Amino acid sequence: MTSFHQIYSKFKGALLEGWQTGEVAAHFGPTASLESMFKYLSSLPETQQILQPPPGDNRISRKGAVEAEKFRNEGNRFYREKKLDKALLAYNYSILAAPHPPVVDGSSNVVGNEYEVLALGYANRSALLYETDQYESALADIERAIAFGYPANRKHRLQERQAKCLLVLGRSQEARQTLEEAINLLNELSLEEKEAATTWDSITKLLTKCENKSHETEPTTGAYDMLYYTGPTCPPCVISPQANNPCMSSALRIAYTPARGRHLVAEREIQPGEILLVEDALTAIVKLDATLRSHCSNCLRRAPIPIPCPTCSLVVFCSDKCRSVSLSSGHRAECGVLATLVALQLDPAPAIAFHVLASTNLPALRDQVTSIRRCTGGGLKPLLQVTQDYRSLYHLEGHATARPESQLQEVAAMAYILTHILLEKCSHFLTDTNGSSITPTEEDITMVGSQLMLLILGVECNVHSTKEVEIRNNNSATTGKQTRGKEVGWAVYSGLSLINHSCIPNSLTTSLGSTKFLYSISIIPKGVEITDSYGERYVSHSRAERRKALQDHYFFCCGCSACQSDWPVYQELPEKPSLRCPSCCQVLVGFQCMICKLVCTSDNALKNGIKLYDAPKTQVQISRTWSEYSKAAAQIQLGKISADLLAKVLEMLTLLDKYTVHPNKAYISTQETLMTCFDLMGSVVYANPPNAST
């Protein structure tokens, strides 16, 4: 496979050999428009000869009955060996690889046995799902197996399993109807005497259960829940949402200054642990690697029981709903070119930029761009709004004028290749509202290429990584820990793009699929800006390292307190927190400030408005609370979360925030525990779920 970087390296080499490097670079820079840069690059013979998309290896996404049967047999072997996690994966791959009928309006019509291998895959997976207590999912797979042509002479076996699932779910009437259908089917079959006796005995027992309500349901142990757990159903809620921006808390307001640009400000004092924003992505994609087969390409959540794309074996969905949404938008165009996109090894920004344009068509893109450009002041109004349309993507800050010529040239080259793929390989993009094909003009091609450049630049500076927390459980308190998360995809958000960086952020985000929620990790006074960290925080990297990374990628020099005062990293901080003076924030010595000479031994308010506090009492309170917090933190580090555990963390964090000198290790450790709490409210996977392989 040939990646973009290999293609671009060859292109630069050709320019160097032709002594054109300087001449080409002169057409790129802060004074040139994106349109002029793209148009110039497109005109070069070297561009047309070298900057061509690779064909890719279509074998990675093709479907085939032989491959599907191979995976199904592997699944059967693992199932017999009681290696249920491995069996599930093999059955999933069998279903992905099996030829699939077209999906129209969310359903497929099948006649005959053309898709029998797909039906067998679903049938085998339903047996595993039943054994692992996933009764609703087993029922869905049984229905799919029958719909896709499961052999009629074995259909009664599926109906028996179907009845068992219905009985466990308390749906005895439906179970009886299913068994009656099985009986009618059996009367038409000629089974061997032994098989017939066994089958009738099983059905008779199930019919008895249908009548005996005391045996209608069977208790489930939940022993396999971790195998399928992907995180909470929904993210935490914004308690008091704004009327105009329901994704955002009323504790926030959108502001603008020339120095800070668009940003969010606290409308009141915000306490640690408050949910400030819960937002669905403007656009999101799964990483273009093996993650495509494990995570839903629409919502980015793990799909332990996936349903396949009907035309490729590379993409999965977690539900029929997600599949319908994706097939009617981005994946419809991307499906046929996935092999090429994977071969290019795209970075997040160009991958998202292509996904955005592949989700629309040329006439719609023309209309959107024209409408935005007609807005007063070049479309300034949407800048201070949270919108869920192309305007938000169009107005992302990409720092085009701050970038060196070499970066702009590389972005133009990437846009040229993606434009080629979009116009030559994605037929849907070149259709009008009636579905008729259209021929793009030179102006259209330049518009598409420049919009790709605009999106790549903007997304590079605003992309969010979507992560999944991995919990390891080896039945040991010392090993059952989780990391901050594994990257599974990338997304762009309207509201979150308003937040500026700080190396000491007062808020952070967690992913639940493609949904992100922002929460406070410190006390945020009224009028203070809401900040997040674009990269590494001060606790882990030096000021020089942080500033270099921010300058290279975001083109600014951070001036937060940690950078201005060059705060030490975590390892260099004091072990124990010190109480601070309520006036100058310096360390209290013997409950007295050596600078202000204030004595903090009682809760009094001075004439100048400074509020003293009872330092001896506070010190005792911190020690007592730390003991309770430590117990809670140990549970949280094992992957456990509850309202009570979270409350103990927030109580500790609030005390340390209000009364101790910053920075200190105790405060940072408590913040880290709070971050773990919220990570556990997002996407989660158990790395080695118990009872998965027995």
Distance, CA of 365 to CA of 390 (rounded, Å): 9
Mean pLDDT of the chain: 90
Distance, CA of 522 to CA of 658 (rounded, Å): 9
Q: For residue 89, what are the CA distances in angstroms to 29, 401, 619?
A: 50, 48, 54
For the chain, percent of residues with pLDDT exceeding 90:
75
pLDDT of residue 115: 94
What is residue 106's three-state secondary structure? Answer: coil
Closest CA to 392 of 302, 497, 520, 254: 497
Distance, CA of 482 to CA of 613 (rounded, Å): 38
Query: Which strands sit side by side in the sheet containing 283-286, from one edge to the other?
Result: 283-286, 486-492, 464-471, 684-686
184 phi, psi to nearest 5 deg: -60, -40
pLDDT of residue 89: 96
- Given a contact cutoff of 8 angstroms between Cβ atoms, the answer to whether 262 and 254 are in contact is yes
Residues forming beta bridges with residue 693, ordered by sequence position? 83
Q: For residue 154, what are the CA distances in angstroms to 118, 266, 514, 678?
A: 15, 64, 41, 48
pLDDT(386) > 90: no
Least confident of 18-27, 477-486, 589-598, 656-665: 477-486
For the chain, percent of residues with pLDDT exceeding 70:
93
Q: What is the pLDDT of residues 274-289, one digit of tens each?
A: 999 999 999 999 999 9
Q: Is the dihedral of CA 177, 181, 186, 188 positive or negative?
A: positive
- DSSP letter at 12 equals H
Superfamily of domain 65-132+134-220 in the CATH hierarchy: Tetratricopeptide repeat domain (1.25.40.10)
- The stretch 513-531 carries a mean pLDDT of 97
pLDDT(473) > 80: no
Closest CA to 283 of 513, 465, 491: 491
pLDDT of residue 253: 94
How sure is the predictor about 214, in pLDDT bands with cuts at 50, 70 and 90? low
Q: What is the pLDDT of residues 343-385, one digit of tens each?
A: 999 999 999 999 999 999 999 999 999 988 887 454 444 456 6
Distance, CA of 598 to CA of 596 (rounded, Å): 5
* Structural domain spans, the chain: 1-59+289-461, 65-132+134-220, 574-662
pLDDT(197) > 60: yes
- Chain CA centroid to CA 460, Å: 17
Q: What is the pLDDT of residues 133-191, one digit of tens each?
A: 999 999 999 999 999 999 988 899 999 999 999 999 999 999 999 999 999 988 888 77
Give the list of residues 6+ apart from residue 303 with CB closer than 8 angstroms, or none: 294, 295, 296, 316, 317, 318
Q: What is the pLDDT of residues 309-333, one digit of tens each?
A: 999 999 999 999 999 999 988 787 8
Closest CA to 145 of 191, 187, 196, 108: 108
pLDDT of residue 618: 96
Q: What is the pLDDT of residues 299-310, one digit of tens each?
A: 999 999 999 999
Q: What is the pLDDT of residues 89-142, one digit of tens each?
A: 999 999 999 999 988 765 666 656 789 999 999 999 999 999 999 999 999 999
- DSSP letter at 625 equals H
Global pTM value: 0.91
How sure is the predictor about 200, in pLDDT bands with cuts at 50, 70 and 90? confident
- DSSP letter at 144 equals H
